[in-house]
């Protein structure tokens, strides 16, 4: 139990970081991205290959993060030309194509994946290892929180909100919509790749099965339930991950009324019911973004002209 609960908390915090990195695209800019897990996988595979090849983690993790951002550039070009469900279809297709590619390339270990990924602190006692990695996951979440806040505050945050609320109006007011979408996709994907890199070194093994499209929908569910604020995004995603992980082993605690397969189905039923209730009674989520009126001090002092398209538009909060 002393290692089980910290492990659950670690993966929950990592999913929370994924929620933040997706929220700046979905909640703050309105980009419908169903392929976010692809960049989680890019980061994991990149650092695994580099570190197995002998590169230090101090270099492999930053390089994997940068590669995740670069991999999003084609989606940025597409996002400037597609909207709504068309973009959603493209992003999930991109993620699946990348997953199948990673699953079949010899250099990535094929279906068997990559073993022997270096695990920092792996030679320590299990309790100490679990505690240290819980701290690493908390630090990862904090870094992701700060990096997400950078692009969602002030004038930049207002511009992103204007793109989300009314893209044609934002373009008419002189906003470079294509540049904003590309920037947010690259930024969020780089943060997802950073999470993937940490995840790879935590588990010491990388396989394409770990980056199933369902991971993206776990994060989506967390954002919908938690809300599009920074706190709502990471808490919602972390809660979803914790529920799924904690209920995998209920039989070990004497709860044997259902089989493992039935428990898996009940988890999805429960999440579905929570989503329905949330959308019915709290469509903005449990912790929505605060309005611009509550965050007037956060706006950049360089805003010199009124922007009808962004009047009353919610902006980011800490």
Per-residue model confidence (pLDDT) at position 75: 85
Per-residue model confidence (pLDDT) at position 135: 96
- On average, the pLDDT of the chain sits at 85
Per-residue model confidence (pLDDT) at position 308: 45
Per-residue model confidence (pLDDT) at position 254: 62
- Residue 151: is its pLDDT beyond 80? yes
Name the CA radius of gyration of the chain, rounded.
20
CB atoms closer than 10 angstroms to residue 301:
8
Q: Which of 220, 159, 169, 211 is nearest to 33 (CA)?
A: 220
Per-residue model confidence (pLDDT) at position 88: 86
Distances in whole angstroms, Cα of residue 239 to Cα of each of 191, 275, 284: 20, 13, 17
Q: Which of 114, 144, 104, 138 is nearest to 51 (CA)?
A: 114
Dist. CA 177–CA 162, nearest whole Å: 9
Per-residue model confidence (pLDDT) at position 295: 39
- Residue 72: is its pLDDT beyond 90? yes
Tokens found for residue 118: 């270096």
Per-residue model confidence (pLDDT) at position 174: 86
Global pTM reads 0.86
Confidence tier at 122 by pLDDT (50, 70, 90): confident
For 2-45, the pLDDT digits (tens) are 688 899 999 999 999 999 999 999 988 889 999 999 999 999 99
Q: What is the DSSP letter of 205?
A: E
CATH number of 4-310: 1.10.3470
266 vs 259, higher pLDDT: 266
Q: Which has the minimum average pLDDT: 101-110, 153-162, 174-183, 299-308?
A: 299-308
Per-residue model confidence (pLDDT) at position 28: 86
Residue range 269-283: mean pLDDT, rounded = 88
Dist. CA 61–CA 82, nearest whole Å: 32
- Residue 297: is its pLDDT beyond 60? no
312 vs 198, higher pLDDT: 198
Among residues of the chain, what percentage have pLDDT more than 70? 86
Using DSSP, state whether 152 is helix, strand or coil: coil
């Amino acid at each position: 139990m002393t290692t089980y609960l910290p492990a659950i908390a670690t993966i929950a915090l990592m999913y929370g970081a994924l929620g933040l990195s997706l929220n700046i695209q979905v909640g703050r800019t309105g980009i419908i991205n169903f392929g976010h897990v692809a960049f989680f996988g890019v980061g994991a595979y990149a650092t695994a290959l580099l570190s197995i090849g002998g590169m230090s983690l101090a270099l492999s993790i930053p390089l994997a993060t940068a590669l995740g951002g670069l991999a999003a550039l084609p989606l940025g070009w597409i996002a400037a030309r597609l909207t709504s469900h068309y973009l959603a279809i493209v992003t999930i297709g991109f993620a699946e194509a990348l997953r199948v590619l990673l699953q079949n390339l010899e250099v990535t270990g094929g279906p068997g994946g990559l073993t022997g990924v270096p695990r920092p602190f792996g030679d320590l006692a299990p309790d100490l290892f679990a505690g240290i990695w819980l701290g690493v996951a908390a630090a990862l979440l904090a870094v992701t929180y700060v990096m997400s806040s950078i692009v969602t505050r002030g004038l930049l945050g207002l511009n992103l909100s204007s793109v989300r609320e009314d893209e044609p109006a934002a373009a008419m007011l002189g906003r470079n919509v294509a540049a904003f979408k590309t920037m947010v996709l690259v930024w969020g994907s780089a943060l997802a790749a950073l999470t993937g890199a940490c995840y790879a070194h935590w588990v010491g093994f990388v396989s394409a099965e770990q980056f199933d499209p369902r991971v993206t929908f776990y994060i989506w569910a967390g954002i919908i339930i938690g809300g599009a604020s920074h706190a709502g995004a990471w808490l919602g995603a972390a809660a979803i991950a914790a529920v799924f992980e904690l209920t995998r082993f209920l039989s070990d605690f004497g709860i044997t009324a259902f089989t493992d397969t039935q428990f898996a189905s009940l988890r999805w039923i429960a999440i579905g019911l929570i989503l329905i209730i949330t959308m019915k009674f709290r469509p903005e989520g449990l912790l929505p973004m605060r309005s611009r009126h509550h965050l007037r001090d956060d706006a950049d002092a360089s805003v010199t002209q009124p922007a009808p398209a962004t009047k009353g538009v919610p902006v980011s909060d800490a």
